[in-house]
Amino acid sequence: MIKFSELKFGDIVLAEYEGQRREGMVKELNREDKEVCVESGEQEFWYTPDQLYPIALNDEQMGRLGFTKAEDGNGSVKYMRDSFRVLLPQKGDFSNMEIWWREDHRFLNQPINVHELQNHYYQMTKVELIPANVH
């Protein structure tokens, strides 16, 4: 489950209906009824937060979000999208990372999910982080 307060337009989540989970993008938020419109494929449906689940951030998801990867000889990995950077001191360990854009540096010492990185990206750049294959 994802807290309603964590969700923003453009966030990528898993939406569950009748036991099936499908990946989709948040298209609209109804704050009064605490409902979330999620577009999955060609369809849009409204969900409550208890029907929405996070997607763990990993190397595959970073690629889907449009980041390029550069491995350093010291075991660290840097992901880049334009001037935004994500540094993992240890390759594959998404529980400890540094993210930065311009003078804004953030150190995260716990695993985060795709929607949380999207929200950090938006807070820092004022630009939505949406995968190229999702509209």
What is the pLDDT confidence band of residue 87, given thresholds at 50, 70 and 90? Answer: very high
Compute the distance between CA of residue 72 and CA of residue 51 in angstroms, rounded to an integer.
40
**Residue 14: predicted pLDDT:** 97
**Residue 132: predicted pLDDT:** 67
Compute the distance between CA of residue 25 and CA of residue 13 in angstroms, rounded to an integer.
6
Q: Which residues contact 2 (CB under 8 A, 6 or more apart)?
A: 13, 49, 52, 53, 54, 115
- Domain ranges within the chain, ordered by starting residue: 4-53, 59-125
Judged on CB neighbours under 10 Å (0-12, 13-18, 19+), 4 is middle
Can you name the CATH fold of 4-53? SH3 type barrels. (2.30.30)
Q: Are 9 and 29 in contact (CB under 8 A)?
A: yes
The better pLDDT of the pair 133, 97 is held by 97
**Residue 46: predicted pLDDT:** 97
**Residue 2: predicted pLDDT:** 94
> pTM, whole model, 2 decimals?
0.92
The better pLDDT of the pair 49, 133 is held by 49
**Residue 85: predicted pLDDT:** 98
What is the pLDDT confidence band of residue 41, given thresholds at 50, 70 and 90? Answer: confident
Mean pLDDT of all residues belonging to the chain: 94
Compute the distance between CA of residue 29 and CA of residue 11 in angstroms, rounded to an integer.
11
